[in-house]
């Protein structure tokens, strides 16, 4: 995979029920299933790190980082049946989603 074409898709989720361990586990299970989409080259499911600096927003519940070989692969992912199923199955769990996409500088 050439780093020059790499597309990073980073999604942050806030839960409707932030204290629900079951909702958190259901969202993580959905992301783990979604990670098997063939266009995803690498992924990371993360919790907020225990850091405390003024520039850090740790108010989210889960972050979902995806690496795609190209922006075209990310376009395929957006309409991929596994992605659409994930949204359908899990959208009731979140109150807010923020996405940061980046390409190689």
CA distances 103 to 1, 5, 9, 56, 78, Å, are 14, 7, 9, 22, 16
> Where residue 83 sits, what CATH number does that domain have?
3.30.70.100
Range of the domain at 31: 3-48+71-103
34 part of a folded domain: yes
Interval 87-103: pLDDT, tens = 999 999 999 999 999 99
Given a contact cutoff of 8 angstroms between Cβ atoms, the answer to whether 11 and 91 are in contact is no
- Band (3; pLDDT cuts 50, 70, 90): low
Given a contact cutoff of 8 angstroms between Cβ atoms, the answer to whether 87 and 24 are in contact is no
CA 58/CA 76 separation, integer angstroms: 30
42 part of a folded domain: yes
Interval 18-53: pLDDT, tens = 999 999 999 999 999 999 999 999 999 999 999 999
pLDDT exceeds 60 at position 1:
no
The three-point CA angle 94-58-47 to 5° equals: 70
């Amino acid at each position: 995979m050439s780093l020059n074409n790499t597309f990073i898709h980073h999604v942050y989720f806030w839960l409707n029920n932030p204290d629900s361990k079951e909702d958190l586990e259901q969202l993580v299970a959905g992301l783990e299933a979604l990670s098997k989409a063939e266009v995803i080259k690498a992924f990371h499911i993360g919790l907020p790190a225990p850091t405390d600096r003024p520039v850090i927003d740790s108010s989210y519940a889960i972050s979902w980082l995806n690496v795609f070989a190209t922006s075209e692969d990310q376009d395929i992912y957006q309409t991929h049946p596994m992605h659409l199923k994930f949204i359908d199955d899990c959208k009731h769990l979140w109150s807010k989603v923020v996405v940061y996409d980046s390409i190689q500088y």
